[in-house]
Structure formats: C-alpha cells, structure tokens
Amino acid sequence: MALAIEPELNVPMTDDNPFTDLTVSANGAANSALFLAEHGLNIEPTKEDQDVAAKLATAYADNPENTSKKATPKRMAALTPASLVLTNSILTEFGQSVVESATQIRHLVTNKLLLETENNDAKIRIRALELLGKVSDVGLFAEKSEVTITHQSSDDLRAKLRGKLEKLVNPPEDIEEAVVIDAEPIDVEAELGADEDIQYDDD
C-alpha cells in the first residue's frame, strides 16, 4: 500500500538551538513510527530493541545534554521504529515520575512545616513560619533587587571613546602646569650612591 506524504516546505532553519533534546526527537520519531504502524508496520519490540531503549534512556537520565547531542538525526534514523517507540515511552514515564515525585516531596515538606507552626516551642513555630514564607508559592520573604540599566546609543559610546583617545594622543599644552609638585628636588645619584666610585675586590 502506497502512502501519499506531502512534505512541509519553506520551514525556516535556525541556529538558536544547537541540538534537540532527546525527549523531543524521540517523541517525533515515535509518532512517525506509530503512524506507520497504523498502515501495517510491525513495531513489536524485540529483546535487542528493549536493550537499546534501556541504554538510551539510562544515558539520558545520567546526562541529558550530552546524550541529546550524541543522538543526532543520522543516529536516530539507524534505530528501529520499535526501539524508538519504546524509548519514547520510557522517557515520557521517566519525566512524569520525576515531576510527580518532586510535587509529592514539596507537598510533604509544606504539610510538615504547617504542623510545626502549632509546636509548643516558640522558636520552632517562628522558624516554621519563616520557611513557609520562603516557599515560592507564598514568596513572603522573597528578596527583590532593583537594577537600573542606562542604555546609550552606539554613537554616544563612540563619541566618549573618541574623546578619551584624543586626550591620550594629543594631551593639552599646559599639562605640565596642571600637575604641580610642591617638594624639594632630589639628587637621585646621591641618594643611590651612584656618584661614588664602586670598588670591587679582586679575588
């Protein structure tokens, strides 16, 4: 059975993202494989497909950026459709598990702090309230800083730089008068003993 696939033309290419995250590329490849499976492609994973998916997912868990950089389109195209679908399933479940675990831990800590606000010890109550106030959802004690940025045009910066360079290259004629040193002159040779003959001992 022939499939009529119409390519998408005039898609802009940018260098903003030097590599595509593996979760994105695996998801796209898996969707393509699932589409082909609807038209008769066998995507039942073999033992080898399972091993490839497990290794790829494990490598991504250890170092997402490095693994994503190594998973180039050429290398991804060399994988079987079944291994791509399985890799995407593992990464999707892995990502959701991390998010769910982080959310559960966050709720647990918040609930524990709420309980400590009823503690008999005043120090513990105050500390618990302080930590609750620092929770990002509350933001009661969030430190805020104001940064003022003065923007200058390129022409203004060039003019200032040109002015400084001109002062260095062409100093004013009265520069010696501008610097006045109120002190007695020093005989450097006398101070260093350079006006005396230096005697060397002959060994």
The tens digit of pLDDT for each residue in 17-73 reads 577 889 999 999 999 999 999 989 988 888 899 889 888 888 888 888 899 999 998
Pick from 79, 56, 81: nearest CA to 67: 56
pTM of the predicted protein model = 0.46
Instruction: Compute φ and ψ for 40, nearest 5 degrees.
Output: 110, 0
